[in-house]
Every structure is written in C-alpha cells, then in structure tokens.
Amino acid sequence: MRHGARLAIDPGNARIGVAASDPSGTLASPVETIPRGKGDQQRIAQLVVEREAREVVVGYPASLSGEEGPAARSAREFAQGLAHLLHPVPVRLVDERLTTVTAQGQLLSGASFGKKGAKGGRARRSVIDQAAATVLLQSALDQERSTGRPPGEIVRSSQGE
C-alpha cells in the first residue's frame, strides 16, 4: 500500500462531494461539499495542498453496458481539467457505480437525518455528496490494499500531461 493521503471527488451537476484519507491511506472521511461552477477546481487544488494529497480519485459513473454516457463524459472532462491544474499530482478515474445509493442507504439506516423541508433537503444532499465521495475513496483504498495496484485509470490532461 502506497503511503500518503488521497482525495476523492464525486462530481455532480450541482455539487461536488469531497473526501480524504489519512496519510497511511487506510481510512476515508468526508471533507466538504463544493458548489459546482466557478472556482470549484481551484478549491479542490487548495484541498490537495492543505492535505498534502499524493493523488486525487474522481468518481466515474460507468454504465453497466460499458459505454460512456453523458455523465461519464462529464466526469472524464472534469478529471482532465483537474489533471491539468494539479499536475504533477496524479488524477485517477475510478468506477463509482452505486456509491451514492450506498451512501444514502448508510445515512438513512443511521441516526436522525436532519431537518425537514427545503433547508433540510439541501443539507441532506450535501451530506450525501460527501458520503458518496467517502464510499468511493474507501472502496479505492480497499481495492489497492487487496490488489497491490492503484485503482482505476490514470487521467491525462488535455495537453497530454
């Protein structure tokens, strides 16, 4: 298992869930939810520096058929932008199928899930985004620990880096 903190990004249309691992790469924890749009990748870059991340894992919503649909293309484009911005920190696309569903299930089976109404709904979605990133990262860490290889696919920036 490689030593060093990792950051996981679960990019959605409206929000980006972020999780980080401890420096030993053992345990993933939620970090924050970033609004999607202007400055989102710069905030991720800040988190990479703050947490001294050795790598960034981006959730890739692969389809069951193996074809790249619109959400997967969007995740790939986002990851390519990050790869360009973060170079030389590696960015990897990792299959995220069912991470949001798993995160929702874990949250709903736990203690109280917050306020009711519109504000509660936004807060729940924010927590779900972070939880999905945490599930993604923990899965990637566990996969690396069991196989001895980094998970997913390395992303090259649009400039070929």
Specify the residue for token string 């400039």: 159
Residue 74: other Cβ atoms inside 10 A: 14
| pLDDT score at 108 | 55
Go through the chain and tell me how many residues it has: 161
| pLDDT score at 74 | 95
Alpha helices in the chain (DSSP H): 40-50, 70-86, 99-109, 117-147
**Per-residue pLDDT at 110 exceeds 60:** no
Instruction: Please write the tens of the pLDDT for every residue from 27-86.
Output: 999 999 999 999 999 999 999 999 999 999 999 998 888 788 999 999 999 999 999 999
Q: Which residue in 98, 99, 93 sits closest to 72, CA to CA?
A: 93
What does pLDDT average to over the chain? Answer: 86
| pLDDT score at 148 | 95
| pLDDT score at 157 | 73
pTM of the full structure: 0.84
Under DSSP, is residue 43 helix (H, G, I), strand (E, B) or coil? helix
The alpha carbons of the chain give a radius of gyration, in whole angstroms, of 15
pLDDT band at 111 (very low <50, low <70, confident <90, very high): very low
